[in-house]
Structure 1
Amino acid sequence: MADRRRINGPSGLTIPPVYLEDESALSSNQPRTRPATTTRNLFLKKGVAPVSSGSAYLELETPFGSTTRTASGMKLVCTVHGPRAVPKSAAFSPHLVLSTHVKYAPFATRQRRGYLRDFSERDLSAHLESALRGAIMGERWPKSNLDVTVTVLEGDFEREISHIQGHGDWDMMNVLSGCIMVASAAIADAGVDCVDLVAGGVSALVAKRNEPSPIVVLDPVDFDPESVLAACCIAYMPNREELSNLWIKGEDLYTGELLQTKLVLGAIQASKANHRVISGEVARSVMIPKLI
């Protein structure tokens, strides 16, 4: 008789995964096939967790457009609980109390993550809260709170190399962009009133070998981290033409002509492409009554 208090392993044999130990062999030498003005394809699905008030699942394709051993895509899932009444012991708030939580799953990256949040996950949570707060109509939900939880199920394999080389900030921007998109779709699934759907976008200033000067590219995940000179991540509402969050970083931003403006405009272009996917998924689930 099987022991119901334990999770029994599989009856057959299993082969454990084998990872390459040479860091130089982990980086792919495949060139970028996408043009500089295009982003990766993404898949978005709402209502993946019926227990929660709203949920969404986001999946980005691999950096090189195909599944390889040295590169993988990014998968995120978001659940929203609320709006619900705050405890009686809490202080009175005339607006909706927003709480965001971003966490990597222990198996999300090549190097196993801990169960407690580190500084990067807390930083992502703060940026996500700032991005969503500008879109939610909090005055319609007094004395209520909204919990938004984003779990990174799988991170890009190349991001682990960036962290080893000390360039993890560039890749955190791509993760933040994905968190903004999946959280925006989950909040819409929960029926929370918003002024617009928030979309994330990332652009970077990249120095290429065959180019005389650095160029601005969208969704810079398939470049050598050492060639990235500056990067920008925004949370953008296209219908209102407003930014709810801006994160820009780089050493060469104050040289040349208006590099900050070029990076922001590139990130806006990327966010508009992602916004079309989010709005399409939201509109697909809305039932429009027939006119009689």
Structure 2
Amino acid sequence: MTDRRRINGPSGGTSAPVYSKYLTKDASTQIERPMRSRAPNVLRKMFLKTGVTPSASGSAYLELEASKSTNTNTPGLASLSTSGLKLTCTVHGPRPLPKSAPFSPHIILSTHVKYAPFATRKRRGYLRDSSERDLGVHLETALRGVIIGDRWPKSGVEVIITILEGEEDQWWGDDRGRGQVTAGEWGMMSVLSGCITVASAAIADAGIDCVDVVSGGVAAVVRGQGKQSTALVLDPVPPEHQEILAAAIVAYLPARDEITDLWVKGDIGNQAVQSSSYEELADNAVQAALGSHRVLVAALKETADMKLGRS
């Protein structure tokens, strides 16, 4: 049934057309794919702030800076080459369950992850699709081992994350048929990592007891300059790499040295990447999670000092 209350946008991409002298029909003069300028073990700068939604029990906002294009001959087009990450999270609860609900000796955790319609180049629908439901399941798994649930019997808490800007799965130039399309939704890995970190900050802002603050980290095995060479990088940006062979995301508890969620995608069992292993990939994802954990702890300390009136 057609929704008469609003005018829905087109189902395809919604990016505005770009008229520039740098976009010509000659393939030799087209702008090139952006290259990673960071070292393999360097993460992107992260901004994290709690208490952004006063009406919620706890809230947080996370933003990862968009990578800058290294091509200095195309000013003004850096935003088209790569994408950043912007997430907002609200926590509602703990609050009593309905009287009709069965008795539960521990808290009932509910997670909801949704892309905004304008979050990616391909416009998202108003109803959750399979990828968004998968993100919600992974987020619930990561948070379930963190919250001390037996302190709130017959209670529920809702964690709602809205993705304002999501990672792209490939370079925008691949849509024009000028590059090799990388198979797989690799942008979901970075999105899930950010969801875990921002949800942990919102839960701490809500005053819910946890065993530790959990943070997310991503590592990937990417194809190098040579066809046979590979590299292992932290915090990968899919548009910056011609091909991603495998990626891993972990939800890590530094105080306990525990992993509450692990998601590995891709295949590194062939001859081209025999120098890497799944254990090494997971270990590097843990190192990326430690970098996110430092930012998370600093943001929580800043919020605590503001609430206590410290200078």
User: Would you call these one fold, judging by a TM-score over 0.5?
Assistant: yes
The runs of 5 or more residues in structure 1 that have no matched partner are: 1-5, 7-15
Q: Relative to structure 2, which stretch is displaced further, 149-158 or 84-93?
A: 149-158
- TM-score normalized by structure 2? 0.80
1:268 paired to 2:286: yes
Q: Is the 8 A contact 2:146 2:210 kept in 1?
A: yes
* Secondary structure of 2:43 counterpart: coil
**1:71: Cα distance to partner?**
2.5
Q: 1:175-194, aligned counterparts within 5 Å?
A: 175-194=191-210
Separation in structure 2 between the aligned mates of residue 271 and residue 262 of structure 1, nearest angstrom = 14
Give the match for residue 146 of structure 1. Answer: 157
Using the alignment, how far apart are the partners of 1:18 and 1:198 within structure 2?
38
Query: What is the distance in 1 between the residues matched to 2:57 and 2:223?
Result: 45
Q: Give the superposition deviation at 1:207.
A: 1.7
* Change in CA separation of 1:167 and 1:234 when aligned onto 2, cut-off 3 Å: same
From 41, 48, 51, the equivalent of 1:47 is 51
Matched, 1:84 2:95: yes
Quote the residue 1:156 is aligned against: 167
Where does 1:195-234 land on structure 2 (aligned, <5 Å)? 195-210=211-226, 213-222=229-238, 226-234=242-250
Q: Any conservation in 1 of the 2:167–2:191 contact (CA below 8 Å)?
A: no
Aligned residue type for 1:49: T
**Cα separation, partners in 2 of 1:125 and 1:86, compared to 1, 3 Å:** same
| 1:228 to 1:162, Cα distance in 2 relative to 1, 3 A | farther
- The aligned runs of 1:1-16 (5 Å cut-off) are none
Is the aligned partner of 1:284 residue 2:308? no
Which stretch of the first structure deviates more once superposed, 215-224 or 244-253?
215-224
Equivalences for residues 95-106 of structure 1 within 5 A: 95-106=106-117
Return closer, same or farther for 1:289/1:161 CA change in 2, 3 Å cut-off: closer
3-state DSSP of counterpart to 1:68: helix
In the alignment, which residue of structure 1 is the partner of 2:251?
Answer: 235
**How many Å separate the matches in 2 of 1:163 and 1:192?**
44
Deviation of the 1:166 alpha carbon: 6.0
Mean Cα deviation higher: 213-222 or 177-186: 213-222
* Structure 2 contact 96–156 (Cα < 8 Å) conserved: yes
Q: 3-state SS of the aligned residue for 1:261?
A: helix
| Closer, same or farther: CA 17–271 of 1 in aligned 2, 3 Å | closer
AA of the residue aligned to 2:48: L
Change (3 A) 1:254 1:196: farther
Which whole-Å CA distance do the structure 1 matches of 2:258 and 2:32 have between them?
37
2: CA distance between counterparts of 1:74 and 1:163? 20
Q: Could you tell me how far apart the structure 2 residues matched to 1:184 and 1:273 are? A: 15
Q: CA RMSD in A?
A: 3.0
Instruction: Check the 8 A contact 1:131/1:244 in 2, yes or no.
Output: yes
Unaligned runs of 5+ in 2: 6-13, 71-77, 176-180
Secondary structure at the counterpart of residue 103 of structure 2: coil
CA distance in 1: counterparts of 2:61 and 2:252, whole angstroms: 20
TM-score relative to the length of structure 1: 0.85
Per mean C-alpha deviation after superposition, the further-off stretch among 196-205 and 155-164 is: 155-164
**CA, structure 1 residues 127+36, in 2 after alignment: closer, same or farther (shift >3 Å)?**
same
| Separation of aligned partners in 2, 1:246 and 1:185 | 20
Residue identity opposite 2:54 in structure 1: P
| Equivalent AA in structure 2 for residue 266 of structure 1 | N
CA distance in 1, matches of 2:167, 2:18: 16
Choose the corresponding residue for 1:62, options 36, 51, 66: 66
SS of residue in 2 equivalent to 1:185: helix
Separation (CA, whole Å) in 2 of partners of 1:97 and 1:228: 37
Give the count of matched residue pairs: 276
Report percent identity of matched pairs. 50
User: How much does 1:72 deviate?
Assistant: 3.0
